[in-house]
Amino acid sequence: MDGATIEQITVNYQNAHKEYFLPFLENNEYMLENYLVHYMFKTLFPILKDRVFDDYVMLVIHYSMVKLHLIGMAKFHNGLNEELVIKLIQSFSKTVDHSAVYLSDIFEALKKQNFNTMGYMAILANN
């Protein structure tokens, strides 16, 4: 994808989402659900009553980043299987759990651009 335009990247993403990700998810939705349930228990979501929405934004960031990586992986491998999904989630979790900065930087960038609203979270989660 070296030198690809944003339009080419967008088309590739949309195609991978439609051709590989959605068909896999149709029969394996429980895998992402289990990841999110684990995340909620791990973080004691929502932990603070005055930060409920911030905690929700972080949940959406986790989900959308895993989904983004899965779609990219699906494009690369021309499909997904349970083994690839587990490997990605394990790798992602190890990286993120050991680097508080990674996702907090994304959170701060969203906040700075005023993208930390329910509308933008719906777009991020459902794209």
pLDDT digits (tens, 9 = 90+) for 69-104: 999 999 999 999 999 999 999 999 999 888 878 888
* Residues 39 and 62 sit within 8 Å (Cβ to Cβ): yes
* Residues 61 and 106 sit within 8 Å (Cβ to Cβ): yes
The residue ranking higher by pLDDT, 20 or 99, is 20
Give the C-alpha separation, 90 to 85, whole Å.
9
pLDDT digits (tens, 9 = 90+) for 22-36: 999 999 999 999 999
Note the pLDDT of residue 83: 98
The residue ranking higher by pLDDT, 5 or 1, is 5
The residue ranking higher by pLDDT, 96 or 17, is 17
Question: 0.85 cut: is pTM over it?
Answer: yes
Closest CA to 18 of 77, 79, 96: 79
pLDDT digits (tens, 9 = 90+) for 33-51: 999 999 888 887 776 667 8
* Residues 82 and 28 sit within 8 Å (Cβ to Cβ): yes
Note the pLDDT of residue 38: 92
